[in-house]
């Protein structure tokens, strides 16, 4: 039996902060929670009584094999799968050191993220739990076609989904619009019909995995929502030209279905900071519309659309320690309370990824994935940057802010 003493406990359910609690952990799972003070004498004690303890963070959108340099496309085109795997090893370690104990990887190549996930599970290397889509499904020449999974009609997308699941995918991703990383694609125009996306929804449900749809533009958001995907990535409501075209009826449908948005706010913020505003034309266009996009997000939140935290880590200027920056944006730009931002990377994120009851909250029955930080991030979200310890499945994996080898 382990006893973890928490000075402040933020349990990830949205409940108020509890003071001086003891978490009882056995076989990597939380067995019970009580007041600190009556610790059994034979227990292994982890004393975090001077710190705030919260669930291990979940980043719902990463690309572990992307380089997060000024030009990740150049790097992924130039590098072979072995080089991508080495990048992934470093990325996973950085994420864990940031307090991220679970990631959903929404695009790699050649099954590299499956190998990475398996090596972490076997404790060969340090890293978070990985739910991996493998290669995203896209149209011929479409967004991220260089990741190798092009499919152009209903039968083809179905086969693509089955192939990816067979080779080890534990979630799926479909590109519902073009993307800024892929020249020649259009972010404001749909890549797939409702029927085509629905075929992938069917396959995801059959395999009990979730389906993410990349959709920057409104046309793709509309089709993906009608098809019943689990999450809409980016969700920027852009029209075919450089205008914002919010569709309230689609947002209402998202809220009714529980389709979550993963707005990935941090890459643009960090690109602006890193380049002093000297960004590509497409990104400049996006930045000009950012205030309007944020207004859409605030409206979605008011309508009850779940909004969860994902960084798109791996894309330009976005390393694997960017999740605190995303949570700060949810507070400062979308108007979340710090506690709501924490929810977006813990309890709500777990629910969105189909992991309710397993991860994302420090309550009896769930896996003991937790972090300890200085201060109180439920008051000051920036405090989430000061990670002192990370525990994954009851094991200390980061101590004194240093990632341990397994
Ligand atoms: Zn992405």
Q: What is the dihedral of CA 85, 86, 88, 90, to 10 degrees?
A: 170
Q: Compute the distance from residue 311 Cα to the ligand 1 centre, in Å.
A: 8
Question: Could you report the per-residue pLDDT of 13-34, keeping only the tens digit for each?
Answer: 999 999 999 999 999 999 999 9
Q: Compute the distance from residue 199 Cα to the ligand 1 centre, in Å.
A: 22
Separation CA 292–CA 236 (nearest Å) = 9
- Residue 39: what pLDDT? 81
Q: What percent of the chain has pLDDT over 90?
A: 91
Banded model confidence at residue 262, pLDDT cuts 50, 70, 90: very high
Q: Say yes or no to pLDDT of 277 above 80.
A: no
Q: Compute the distance from residue 213 Cα to the ligand 1 centre, in Å.
A: 10
As a whole number of Å, the CA-based R_g of the chain is 20
DSSP summary character for residue 77: H
Q: Compute the distance from residue 62 Cα to the ligand 1 centre, in Å.
A: 6
Over range 274-290, report the average pLDDT. Answer: 83
Question: Could you report the per-residue pLDDT of 304-349, keeping only the tens digit for each?
Answer: 999 999 999 999 999 999 999 999 999 999 999 999 999 999 999 9
Domains of the chain: 2-55+361-403 (2.30.40.10), 57-352 (3.20.20.140)
Q: Compute the distance from residue 214 Cα to the ligand 1 centre, in Å.
A: 7
Q: Say yes or no to pLDDT of 171 above 90.
A: yes
Question: Could you report the per-residue pLDDT of 126-138, keeping only the tens digit for each?
Answer: 999 999 999 999 9
Q: Compute the distance from residue 256 Cα to the ligand 1 centre, in Å.
A: 25
Q: Say yes or no to pLDDT of 204 above 90.
A: yes
Q: Compute the distance from residue 90 Cα to the ligand 1 centre, in Å.
A: 18
Q: Compute the distance from residue 362 Cα to the ligand 1 centre, in Å.
A: 29
The answer to whether the complex's ipTM is over 0.90 is: yes
Q: Compute the distance from residue 63 Cα to the ligand 1 centre, in Å.
A: 6
Banded model confidence at residue 280, pLDDT cuts 50, 70, 90: confident
Q: Compute the distance from residue 406 Cα to the ligand 1 centre, in Å.
A: 29
Q: Compute the distance from residue 38 Cα to the ligand 1 centre, in Å.
A: 47
Q: Say yes or no to pLDDT of 188 above 80.
A: yes
User: Can you tell me whether residue 54 is helix, strand or coil?
Assistant: strand
Q: Say yes or no to pLDDT of 282 above 80.
A: no
Question: Could you report the per-residue pLDDT of 33-70, keeping only the tens digit for each?
Answer: 999 987 888 899 999 999 999 999 999 999 999 999 99
Q: Compute the distance from residue 283 Cα to the ligand 1 centre, in Å.
A: 15
- Residue 229: what pLDDT? 98
- Residue 190: what pLDDT? 95
Q: Compute the distance from residue 403 Cα to the ligand 1 centre, in Å.
A: 26
Separation CA 69–CA 318 (nearest Å) = 8
Question: Could you report the per-residue pLDDT of 235-261, keeping only the tens digit for each?
Answer: 999 999 889 999 999 999 999 999 999
- Residue 310: what pLDDT? 98
- Residue 287: what pLDDT? 87
Q: Compute the distance from residue 32 Cα to the ligand 1 centre, in Å.
A: 37
Q: Compute the distance from residue 266 Cα to the ligand 1 centre, in Å.
A: 12
Separation CA 283–CA 268 (nearest Å) = 8
Q: Compute the distance from residue 392 Cα to the ligand 1 centre, in Å.
A: 25
Q: Compute the distance from residue 233 Cα to the ligand 1 centre, in Å.
A: 8
Q: Compute the distance from residue 16 Cα to the ligand 1 centre, in Å.
A: 33
Q: Say yes or no to pLDDT of 293 above 90.
A: yes
Q: What percent of the chain has pLDDT over 70?
A: 100
Q: Compute the distance from residue 66 Cα to the ligand 1 centre, in Å.
A: 10
Question: Could you report the per-residue pLDDT of 105-163, keeping only the tens digit for each?
Answer: 999 998 999 999 999 999 999 999 999 999 999 999 999 999 999 999 999 999 999 99
Q: Compute the distance from residue 353 Cα to the ligand 1 centre, in Å.
A: 16
- Residue 270: what pLDDT? 92
Q: Compute the distance from residue 136 Cα to the ligand 1 centre, in Å.
A: 10
Q: Say yes or no to pLDDT of 100 above 90.
A: yes
- Residue 272: what pLDDT? 87
Would you put residue 359 in left (φ > 0), alpha (ψ -120 to 50) or beta?
beta
- Residue 189: what pLDDT? 94
Cα 32 to Cα 2, 21, 373: the distances in Å are: 11, 10, 22
Q: What is the dihedral of CA 300, 306, 310, 315, to 10 degrees?
A: -40
Q: How many helices (H) and strands (E) does the chain have?
A: 13, 15
- Residue 283: what pLDDT? 80
Cα 278 to Cα 73, 137, 291: the distances in Å are: 18, 32, 19
Q: Across all residues in the chain, what is the average pLDDT? A: 96
Q: Compute the distance from residue 107 Cα to the ligand 1 centre, in Å.
A: 7
Separation CA 30–CA 188 (nearest Å) = 45
């Amino acid at each position: 039996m382990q006893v973890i003493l928490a000075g402040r406990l933020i349990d990830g359910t949205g409940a108020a902060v509890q003071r001086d609690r003891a978490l009882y952990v056995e076989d990597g799972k939380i067995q019970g929670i009580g007041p600190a003070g009556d610790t059994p004498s034979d227990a292994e004690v982890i004393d975090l009584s001077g710190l705030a303890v919260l669930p291990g963070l979940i980043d719902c959108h990463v690309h572990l094999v992307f380089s997060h340099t000024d030009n990740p496309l150049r790097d992924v085109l130039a590098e072979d799968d072995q080089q991508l795997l080495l990048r992934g090893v470093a990325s996973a370690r950085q994420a864990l050191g940031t307090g991220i104990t679970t990631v959903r990887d929404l695009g790699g190549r050649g099954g590299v993220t499956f190998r990475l996930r398996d090596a972490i599970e076997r404790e060969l290397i340090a890293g978070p739990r990985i739910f991996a889509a493998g290669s995203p499904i896209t149209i011929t020449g479409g967004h991220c076609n260089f990741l190798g999974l092009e499919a152009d009609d209903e039968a083809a997308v179905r086969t693509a989904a089955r192939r990816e699941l067979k080779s080890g995918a534990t979630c799926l991703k479909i590109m519902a619009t073009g993307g800024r990383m892929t020249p020649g694609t259009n972010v404001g125009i749909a890549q797939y019909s409702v029927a085509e996306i629905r075929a992938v929804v069917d396959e995801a449900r059959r395999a009990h995995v979730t389906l993410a749809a990349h959709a920057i533009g409104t046309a793709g958001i509309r089709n993906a929502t009608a098809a019943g995907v689990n999450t809409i990535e980016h969700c920027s409501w852009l029209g075919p030209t450089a205008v914002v075209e919010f569709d309230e009826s689609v947002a209402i449908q998202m809220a009714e279905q529980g389709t979550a948005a993963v707005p990935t706010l941090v890459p643009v913020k960090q690109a602006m900071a890193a380049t002093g505003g000297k960004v590509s034309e497409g990104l400049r266009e996006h930045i000009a519309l950012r205030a309007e996009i944020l207004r859409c997000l605030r409206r979605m939140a008011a309508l009850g659309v779940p909004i969860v935290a994902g960084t798109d880590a791996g894309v330009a200027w976005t390393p694997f320690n960017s999740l605190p920056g995303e949570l700060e944006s949810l507070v400062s730009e979308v108007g979340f309370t710090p506690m709501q931002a924490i929810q977006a990377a813990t309890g709500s994120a777990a629910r969105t990824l189909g992991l309710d009851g397993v991860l994302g909250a420090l309550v009896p029955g769930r896996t003991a994935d937790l972090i300890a930080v200085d201060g109180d991030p439920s008051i000051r979200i920036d405090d989430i940057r000061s990670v002192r310890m990370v525990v994954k499945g009851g094991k200390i994996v980061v101590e004194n802010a240093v990632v341990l080898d397994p």
